[in-house]
Structure 1
Amino acid sequence: MNQHLSRNIELGITFCLSAFYLGIDLPSPIPSALALVSFLIIPLLIIRQWKEFIYVATRDIPLILAVGAAVISVIWSTNPEETLAHSRALLFSTAFGIYLATRYTPKELMQLMVWLFGIYMLLSLITSLILPSYGTDINTEGLSWQGIAGHKNSLSAAMGMAAMLFLDLALYGYKYRPILSLGAGISFLLILLSKGKGGLGVFMGLLPLLPLYKLTKQEYRLRTFFGIFAFVIGLVIILSTLVNLEFITVELLGKDMELTGRIPLWNYLIQRGLEKSWLGYGYGAFWTNPKEVLQVALNVPWMSSIADGVTKAHAHSAYIDLFLQLGWVGVSLVALSFVTILFRVVLLLGLTRQIEYFWMLQLLLFMAMGNIANNSGEFLAYRSLYWVLYVSTACSTAIHLKRILKTGNKLVNLQYENTTYQH
């Protein structure tokens, strides 16, 4: 087969798999069927370059430990059958993230994501306008857009990431600025129309970071000064947020101080988690255990709908879900992984001044912020593009930082042909 054609086919498959992990609302049993197809396709992608894959997969030990903890939790799981099924899916999504780091440079992956989120944005806009029975939903807040995501919070999170991608390249790229600016505007409009307050809050929280990339272009001493300045400003913002929590939640986000009843839920779940505080209930085991779900429904009235065993339930905080599943051990391993990757991303951003590492920084903060009161960008998620990108970021930064430190070449493996958005 022609090498160019083969690469295009592989790129198309990668795009489709990425769209699957981003999430499209499809009737049952299509998602399950697509999951089975992905289980067949991902090994085929990997086998073509299995030696490189193994090398890349072993570059980030904290990531391996975190995923390994989820897999071996079947030993102590309260629902081992579900833990086994969830762990299998987690391994495949993690493998796909490693494959992306193996096959594509950070800049190539960023371009692929621009296309993916752009098409996702347009399809969500079109379906919400033309097929309102599919693309919109009526709830307590009135009419909310959900596009092809299936839920307002999912659309809000995706459009938050899309808007940041488009803004990065519109502000700091050299081509297609009007189109990228329009994409950022439409993405922000969809965030507002979705009425997903969590996604809006995360997006607004990431906006102040945009000038930071320009500061990395300054001379070293000036960058150091501005880095300290940015840290102080960030600290002030955090403290201001804590002090003005009531204003932000009640006035700005339109929620009550208990975040629409989540705090009573969190209190109950934390108490349940403390009963198995070290290792948790097992990966994917808590919310698939009918007894636990029933107890939640009985103790938290607004969660009573999950008692039917059909409605999908979660803690409305990915951190609490992680604690329930893997206890303090799992939380510590994920925290170690996150801090390690964050350090590498910031270091690479300072060394290379490349826009893709700035986007990686935004991705990490997007996940960290989105997990507080939502499950947007959940760590160790078995079917999430954000987890796939997290894994890819972990592996690619580990490799590129090692090569840069070894060769002294700050642009090693970062340049490739046909650069689209930036010189």
Structure 2
Amino acid sequence: MKILEFLEKFIAVVCIMAFGGTVLPVLLTGGSVVAADQESSGAMMFFAGIYVLILALIAMRPSLAFRIPLASPAVTFLLVFAFVSSLWSLFPDVTLRRSLAFLFTTVFGIYLALRFTFPEIMRLLVTGLSALMFLSFASVVAMPAVGLDSAQHVGAWKGIFFQKNVTGRMMVWLVLCLLWLDWQREAKRWVTRSLLALALLLIVMSRSGTGLVTSVLVAAALLATGLVRGNIRSFAPTMAIMLVVLILAGTAIASFWYDALYALGRDPTLTGRTVLWDHILGSISERSLLGYGYAAYWYGAYGPGSAFIESWGINSAHNGWLEATLDLGIPGVLVLLGILGRLIFQGFFASRYGASRAEPAWAFAVGCALVAISISESVFLERHSMNWIVLVIGVVRLMELGRRSRYQQALAQSNARHQQQAYANAPAYAGPGRQF
């Protein structure tokens, strides 16, 4: 059994690395790194192998196959809706193919959430993402053509990832998991803190302003959930301080947003994003109800996004909410809002009032990070993406905690009723020498 468990965890780490947004699928299949394409024939064969591994993982635990569709009704709805959107998609075959990739990505996230304990999930994520981090450092030294950006951000360390912002996002998840393990003392501190220093170094060298700011945000989110735990005497001052900090931060951003953008390596157009968003808003106004079909908007030389694909090399909206609207329209966005709301609000209040605060605190930090990143990057409904896997893990674990809490409450109430009935049916004591 130990060998089977080791094999299971090894395959899980391999899948985590495969979904890290790297050039590994292209490198391992002999493709061109310069024109790296996750839908090249070689990359598609690589991911087909990953799908087989995911099926093997589920086959090892057949009971999970029945739990996966019910783990989160909202996530299941998005999966089904992605496939159904092929009925009105601009490119139905593309939507079906990419929906299949989205399915396996989501199923893997649900599998991790259901199969392992939470500390085990954190250690698996840290193992896979740390391996990608070390490979990134190695690529900068041994393969600078791969490890260094030579296009828009010359000299930035992107490692083995497709782009420096992807490097930043993956390191954010590594930082969050390491902080959680260190906080809960689930790993040796010299290991977690050494890895944390290396992850922050890679973020700085990648020049990912979003990654750096989000790393600070997730650390603050974990700290906040620890500070609000306690009685009203500690809760009220902490919330007041947090509110004052938010007001001061909002005022500073509103007053000095221009300088802040340049400090983060951005210009007032957010590197051309405002022009892109203006075009996308026009497209959304034409098909806002159901969108253009999952992952269909940016496909083809004659599609509505072709001008940006050809001239700028852009194949996403660089905004999570706009991308979701293009893919699945208003229904998809509303369901996503519900999922993010669960991560943030249930995560916060469960970490404040729940019996166990560690898992909800992590989910709360994930929700805060995704909201921040989604402003400038498309992080929702992604296939082959750790961003989506982390979201799925967070929401499924919260659902499981809720189910467990309701079960324990029902069990406690049932036991209390049985005790009351037993007490009511017990014969009364009539005193010494008297008959019952």
Q: Same fold (TM over 0.5)?
A: yes
Kindly state the Cα deviation for residue 109 of structure 1 after the two structures are TM-superposed: 0.4
Tell whether the 8 Å contact from 1:53 to 1:98 is kept in structure 2 after alignment: no
Q: Secondary structure at the match of 1:144?
A: coil
Q: Which amino acid aligns with 2:365?
A: Q
Q: Which amino acid aligns with 1:332?
A: L
Tell whether the 8 Å contact from 1:198 to 1:374 is kept in structure 2 after alignment: no
Aligned match of 2:161 in 138, 144, 149? 149
Q: Which amino acid aligns with 1:34?
A: F
RMSD across aligned positions (CA): 2.5
Counterpart position of 1:228: 239
Aligned match of 2:15 in 9, 14, 17? 17
> Within 1, Cα distance between the matches of 2:241 and 2:55?
43
Greater mean deviation of Cα atoms: 131-140 or 351-360:
351-360
After TM superposition, the structure 1 = structure 2 runs for residues 320-331 of structure 1, keeping only pairs within 5 Å, are 320-331=322-333
Tell whether the 8 Å contact from 1:83 to 1:285 is kept in structure 2 after alignment: yes
Counterpart position of 1:339: 341
> Within 1, Cα distance between the matches of 2:222 and 2:393?
23
> Within 1, Cα distance between the matches of 2:5 and 2:305?
50
Larger radius of gyration: 2
Query: Structure 2 vs 1, CA of residues 207 and 59 (structure 1 numbering), >3 Å: closer, same or farther?
Result: closer
> Within 2, Cα distance between the matches of 1:18 and 1:66?
22
> Within 1, Cα distance between the matches of 2:184 and 2:57?
33
Q: Which amino acid aligns with 1:94?
A: T
Tell whether the 8 Å contact from 1:60 to 1:394 is kept in structure 2 after alignment: yes
> Within 1, Cα distance between the matches of 2:183 and 2:58?
36
Say yes or no: does 1:7 pair with 2:5. yes
Identity %: 23
Tell whether the 8 Å contact from 1:249 to 1:256 is kept in structure 2 after alignment: no
Query: Structure 2 vs 1, CA of residues 236 and 386 (structure 1 numbering), >3 Å: closer, same or farther?
Result: same
Query: Structure 2 vs 1, CA of residues 222 and 58 (structure 1 numbering), >3 Å: closer, same or farther?
Result: farther
After TM superposition, the structure 1 = structure 2 runs for residues 114-263 of structure 1, keeping only pairs within 5 Å, are 114-171=126-183, 173=185, 175-216=187-228, 218-222=229-233, 224-225=235-236, 228-229=239-240, 232-233=243-244, 235-236=246-247, 239-240=250-251, 242-244=253-255, 246-247=257-258, 249-263=260-274
Counterpart position of 2:380: 379
Kindly state the Cα deviation for residue 380 of structure 1 after the two structures are TM-superposed: 1.2
Kindly state the Cα deviation for residue 9 of structure 1 after the two structures are TM-superposed: 0.7
> Within 1, Cα distance between the matches of 2:186 and 2:5?
26
Q: Secondary structure at the match of 2:156?
A: strand
> Within 1, Cα distance between the matches of 2:261 and 2:203?
19
Tell whether the 8 Å contact from 2:288 to 2:330 is kept in structure 1 after alignment: yes
Query: Structure 2 vs 1, CA of residues 162 and 407 (structure 1 numbering), >3 Å: closer, same or farther?
Result: same
> Within 1, Cα distance between the matches of 2:294 and 2:243?
38
Tell whether the 8 Å contact from 1:241 to 1:248 is kept in structure 2 after alignment: no
Counterpart position of 2:318: 316
Counterpart position of 1:413: none
Kindly state the Cα deviation for residue 363 of structure 1 after the two structures are TM-superposed: 1.8
Query: Structure 2 vs 1, CA of residues 257 and 356 (structure 1 numbering), >3 Å: closer, same or farther?
Result: same
The count of corresponding residues between Structure 1 and Structure 2 is: 395
Q: Secondary structure at the match of 1:380?
A: coil
Greater mean deviation of Cα atoms: 199-208 or 110-119:
199-208
Kindly state the Cα deviation for residue 101 of structure 1 after the two structures are TM-superposed: 1.8
Q: Deviations over 1:99-156 (max 9, x none)?
A: 1122112221012112222222222112212221221122344311111113211111
> Within 2, Cα distance between the matches of 1:7 and 1:320?
41
Kindly state the Cα deviation for residue 290 of structure 1 after the two structures are TM-superposed: 2.2
User: What TM-score does the superposition give when structure 1 sets the normalisation length?
Assistant: 0.85
> Within 2, Cα distance between the matches of 1:281 and 1:249?
35
Counterpart position of 1:396: 397
Report 1 or 2 for greater relative contact order, CA contacts < 8 Å, sequence distance ≥ 6.
1
Residue segments in structure 1 that go unaligned for 5+ positions in a row:
298-302, 410-423
